[in-house]
């Protein structure tokens, strides 16, 4: 009888350990990473366009008051584009997007988009476009635009 209790306790321990590990993996896969702050110049957030790899987004966090406004910048098809790490449909979840192998995936609803699709995207779960200007190898985003977007974060 004691041997049976011991085996059962070991089995329960394994099950609890597996559940805890699964929970840790689930939470770590669904959360956003910590993003660096963009440089600043005058009234703009600034990203060095030369540091962008074609087709690979760089994520940033602009901090304004108590808000962390996440956005990404991507070099695509000879252009530099910027978007909030949020959409008008799923922003309340505050999960943003994950990028892998040329595809953006909403962490909330699991919708998937290629870079050409997000550039042309409109409404729904597409990332919200952020206007910016490319000058002398630097990409400038007005901080006022990012601050206005705080409602999505």
Q: What is the mean pLDDT of the chain?
A: 84
Point out the least confidently predicted range of 24-28, 30-34, 61-65, 116-120.
Answer: 24-28
Rounded Cα–Cα distance for residues 68 and 133 (Å)? 22
Q: CA 113 from chain center: how many Å?
A: 14
Q: How confident is the model over 79-97, as a mean pLDDT?
A: 96
- Rounded mean pLDDT, 6-11: 50
- Please answer whether residues 5 and 13 qualify as being in contact, where contact means their C-beta atoms are separated by less than 8 angstroms: no
3-to-12, 16, 74 alpha-carbon distances in Å: 14, 20, 61
- Smallest CA-to-CA distance from 97 within 129, 62, 50, 59 is with 59
Cα distance between the two ends of the chain: 57
pLDDT computed for residue 16 by the predictor: 37
Write out pLDDT tens, residues 43-77: 999 999 999 999 999 999 999 999 999 999 999 99
At 120, is the pLDDT very low, low, confident or very high (cuts 50, 70, 90)? confident
pLDDT (0 to 100) of residue 14: 39
Q: Which residues contact 72 (CB under 8 A, 6 or more apart)?
A: 57, 58, 59, 60, 82, 83, 85, 97, 99, 127
- Tell me the mean pLDDT in the region 72-101: 96
Average pLDDT over residues 84-90: 94
Q: What is d(CA 140, CA 40) in angstroms, rounded to the nearest whole number?
A: 9
3-state SS assignment for residue 115:
helix
Tokens 């705080």: give the residue: 150
Portion of the chain with pLDDT greater than 90, in percent: 73
Size of the chain, expressed as the number of residues it contains:
153
pLDDT of residue 34: 86
Share of the chain above pLDDT 70, in %: 78
* Distance separating alpha carbons of residues 127 and 113, to the nearest angstrom: 10
């Amino acid at each position: 009888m004691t041997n049976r209790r011991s085996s059962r306790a070991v089995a329960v321990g394994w099950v609890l350990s597996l559940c805890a590990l699964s929970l840790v993996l689930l939470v770590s896969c669904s959360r956003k990473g910590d993003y660096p702050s963009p440089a600043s110049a005058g009234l703009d957030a600034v990203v060095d366009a030369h540091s962008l790899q074609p087709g690979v987004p760089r994520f940033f966090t602009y901090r304004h008051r108590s808000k962390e406004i996440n956005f990404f910048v991507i070099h695509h098809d000879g252009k530099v584009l910027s978007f909030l790490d949020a959409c008008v449909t799923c922003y309340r979840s505050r999960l943003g997007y994950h990028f892998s192998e040329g595809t953006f995936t909403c962490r909330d609803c699991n919708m998937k988009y290629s870079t050409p699709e997000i550039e042309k995207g409109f409404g729904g779960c597409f990332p919200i476009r952020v206007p910016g200007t490319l000058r002398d190898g630097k990409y400038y985003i007005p901080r006022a635009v990012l601050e206005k977007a705080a409602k999505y974060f």
